[in-house]
Amino acid sequence: MIARDPRRVFHLANAATGALLGCGISHILPLLPAAAGAAGLQAALAAACLCPRCAWVGANVTRGPARGAVALTFDDGPDPVLTPWILKALDAAGAQASFFCVGEKARRHPGLIRAIRDAGHSIENHSDRHRYSFAALPQTAIAREVRTAQQTLTALAGQVPLFFRAPAGFRNPWLAPVLAAHGLRYVSWSRRGLDTIDPRPERVLRRLVAAIQEGDILLLHDGAGARDHKGAPVLYAVLPPLLAIARERGLAVVGLPALLG
């Protein structure tokens, strides 16, 4: 029985997820009748895999304790333009952050990893190649993505990443045991600016600060970010006011190790 075998059920959900991500839902519609008996379960599992802030496929930290601080996180770097600019902005504001770095980008820009570390920020694991099919990969490939990035970032930074975030936040049930083997905790976010898709800085900023409160984990990007109507990275008009607003509201801006202990 499919429903009594979690691995078979997951493979079905995995196939659906992979198809959703890679081919588009129209390609899998003809296949659905063949799996009609498990369709509801497949849909639920596929939804679980595609739900970044859910804990249905493994533990998921979405916020920290209320201790007067928020954590700022940047995904998808390091980037030769944005990362140095972010480091200067953080330094000017006396703020700290966590950088979820991509292994292959880190190998291309090892000096940026050292710069992040030397400024006192934490470097975390965002997979090795940032494959958008991550949630559809088998466990061996998931393990390789996590392990290779972990080895790269540890070697370059001289410190071991403590947290992992999946590409686009999409996971599958194979990930949790892989993270446990590396002593990694899965972290998503409580507020995100959608700075990779929204070219309007004022809207990106509003998503982050409109209801900001202590314990929040904020998500921005230092790679693949959107650009405004003048062609400048949206982040340029978002990060300084974000840091100023946090200060006005008495919130320290810290990295994940400080927020989560």
Least gap, CB of 232 to Zn ion (angstroms): 21
DSSP label at residue 197: T
What are the distances in angstroms from CA 160 to CA 55, 105, 118, 149, 157? 24, 17, 14, 11, 8
The nearer residue to Zn ion, 96 or 125, going by C-beta atoms, is 125
Of 170, 229, 174, 240, nearest to 199 by C-alpha is 229
CA distance 8 to 170: 20
| Contacting residues toward Zn ion, per CB under 5 A | 75-76, 167
Least gap, CB of 75 to Zn ion (angstroms): 4
The nearer residue to Zn ion, 76 or 222, going by C-beta atoms, is 76
The nearer residue to Zn ion, 75 or 145, going by C-beta atoms, is 75
What's the one-letter identity of residue 193?
Answer: G
Cis omega (within 30 of 0) for bond into 78? yes
Least gap, CB of 238 to Zn ion (angstroms): 17
The nearer residue to Zn ion, 10 or 161, going by C-beta atoms, is 161
Least gap, CB of 76 to Zn ion (angstroms): 4
The nearer residue to Zn ion, 167 or 225, going by C-beta atoms, is 167
Structure tokens that stand for 17 in this block? 């997820």
Structure tokens that stand for 184 in this block? 């990694």
Least gap, CB of 222 to Zn ion (angstroms): 10
